């Protein structure tokens, strides 16, 4: 016997429950909130989701997520091409942008080295980063990686890989807690961390 088809409401709740920070209980609350506010919440949200699904994708240059490729940051002529800031995740890029303390360009690794999870240099696109860092315009690479084991392992690896590029290599320092992930930091701490970067290689 097949299971009865899932109702639209059940499906909505099940999908919402997969979002970070939402369990089944809060997913039910969110679904009910939307369904009761069809015109002001549900329909605009459905349109925004459809638009995002159709238009948004990764930037081929830096790995940011945007509705244009290259992304708005890569395409912005006012950003300093001499500074390349390496982050683990798009969430970290967004956090640095919110802090407003950095006016260079970014490179999103999409993860950190983790041999047990099968994440090696290929998975984090190390070659792509080295190629970008070797470009004449780049003077400094800032490794803005979290003070986690994976983040620091990755930083050490990238220092070695980037050394032949002849760029200055720095790491963020100040105020980033041990075990800390960048996107949990407040704007002021993050701005100070980038401003107080230290040479690594
Ligand atoms: Zn980009």
Give, for all 201 residues of the chain, the pLDDT tens digit. Answer: 566 678 999 999 999 999 999 999 999 999 999 999 999 999 999 999 999 999 999 999 999 999 999 999 999 999 999 999 999 999 999 999 998 889 999 999 999 999 899 999 999 999 999 999 999 899 999 999 987 889 989 999 999 999 998 899 998 865 666 666 777 777 767 776 777 777 776
The DSSP call for residue 31 is H
- Count the alpha carbons within 13 Å of 157 in the hemisphere toward its beta carbon: 21
Distance in angstroms (rounded) separating the CA atoms of residues 103 and 30 = 37
Classify burial at 148, counting beta carbons within 10 Å of its beta carbon; exposed 0-12, middle 13-18, buried 19 or more. Answer: middle
The DSSP call for residue 114 is B
* Alpha carbon of 8 to ligand 1 centroid (Å): 37
* Alpha carbon of 141 to ligand 1 centroid (Å): 16
* Alpha carbon of 135 to ligand 1 centroid (Å): 16
Q: How far is CA 141 from CA 23, 84, 91, 196, in A?
A: 39, 5, 19, 14
* Alpha carbon of 110 to ligand 1 centroid (Å): 13
């Amino acid at each position: 016997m097949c299971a009865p088809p899932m109702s639209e409401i059940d499906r909505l709740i099940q999908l919402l429950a997969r979002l970070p920070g939402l369990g089944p209980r809060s997913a039910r609350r969110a679904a009910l909130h939307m369904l009761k506010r069809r015109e002001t919440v549900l329909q605009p949200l459905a349109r925004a989701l459809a638009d995002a699904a159709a238009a948004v994708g990764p930037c081929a240059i830096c790995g940011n997520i945007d509705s244009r490729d290259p992304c708005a940051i890569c395409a912005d002529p006012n950003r300093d091409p001499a500074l390349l800031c390496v982050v683990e995740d798009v969430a970290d890029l967004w956090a640095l942008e919110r802090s407003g303390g950095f006016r260079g360009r970014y490179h999103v690794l999409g993860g950190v080295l983790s041999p047990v999870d099968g994440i090696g240099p290929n998975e984090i696109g190390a070659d792509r980063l080295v190629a970008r860092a070797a470009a004449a315009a780049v003077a400094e690479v800032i490794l803005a990686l979290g003070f986690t084991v994976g983040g620091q392992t990755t930083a050490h690896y990238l220092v070695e890989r980037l050394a032949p590029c002849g760029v200055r290599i720095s790491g963020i320092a100040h105020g980033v807690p041990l075990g800390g992930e960048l996107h949990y930091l407040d704007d002021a701490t993050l701005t100070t961390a980038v401003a107080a970067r230290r040479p690594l290689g």
